[in-house]
Amino acid sequence: MDLLPYLFGVVVFLAALLASIGIWSRRRLWVKVAAVVATMFFIPAAYAGYVGLLSKPKPVEFEWAQRTTEEATVLGATIREGEGIYLWLQMSGLAEPRSYVLPWDIDLAQELQEAMREAQENGSGLMMRLPFEPSLDEEEAKFYALPQPAFPPKDFMPETKPEEYRHPSLQI
């Protein structure tokens, strides 16, 4: 989302450059007008395309900026048979979660379902190993549930203090 204004600025600059080349060329007037009109339609169409892409899940094959991510927290998942595996992932170092789609794979879908079931039973989270790297290792699971969180010790008594407020001008 934070790159959208810059990408759109590049598109506008390139479209304006092409229109100016069309205007200053030694062509007939109708060719010059057509270049300006095409630019006027291209800029809003490019903006609408960028904004439309913001709500779509990104195919994992297209992720190049986060390619080295070792693990990601799975915040949500939807499995659509024959279509794909839709994931809502939170990567460390990024403030906002991102939406991705994995190509349909029945073994991966079953692995995800088992890990989701285990995470729900444990009351824990769900993680994904190497989310953007096609795994050739069939032994290691791509999805796994975090271990069940430890219960607090039975003899644990939190130290409680009464809530107190003093106005800053009354402090000595």
Residues 6+ apart with CB under 8 A from 129: 70, 71, 135, 140, 141, 142, 143, 144
My answer on whether 91 and 139 are in the same domain is yes
Question: Residue 37 domain-assigned?
Answer: yes
Check whether residue 21 and residue 93 sit in a common domain: no
Q: Is 154 part of any domain? A: no
pLDDT of residue 137: 61
152 occurs within a structural domain: no
Residues 24 and 91 in one domain: no
Higher pLDDT, 72 or 31: 72
3-state helix, strand, coil in the chain (%, to 5): 40, 20, 40
User: Does residue 161 sit within a domain?
Assistant: no
Number of structural domains found in the chain: 2
Contacts of residue 75, defined as CB under 8 A and 6 or more positions apart, other chains included, come to 88, 89, 90, 97
Question: Which amino acid type is present at position 170?
Answer: L
**97 alpha-carbon distance from chain centroid:** 5
**95 and 78 part of one domain:** yes
AA identity, residue 165: Y
The model's confidence at residue 101, banded by pLDDT at 50, 70 and 90, is: very high
Q: Is residue 128 part of a domain?
A: yes
Give residue 12's identity as a one-letter amino acid code: V
CATH number at residue 63: 2.40.50
Evaluate if pTM is beyond 0.75. no
User: Cα 11 to the chain's mean position, in Å?
Assistant: 23
68 and 139, same domain (yes or no) = yes
Q: Are 15 and 46 in contact (CB under 8 A)?
A: yes
Mean pLDDT of 2-12: 82
Find the domain containing 78 and state its range.
59-145
Do residues 105 and 125 share a domain? Answer: yes
Could you tell me if residue 155 is inside a domain? no
Tell me, yes or no, whether 48 lies in a domain.
yes
Please write the tens of the pLDDT for every residue from 107-152.
989 999 999 999 888 888 899 988 887 665 666 778 888 887 777 6
Give the lowest-confidence range in 23-27, 104-108, 122-126: 23-27
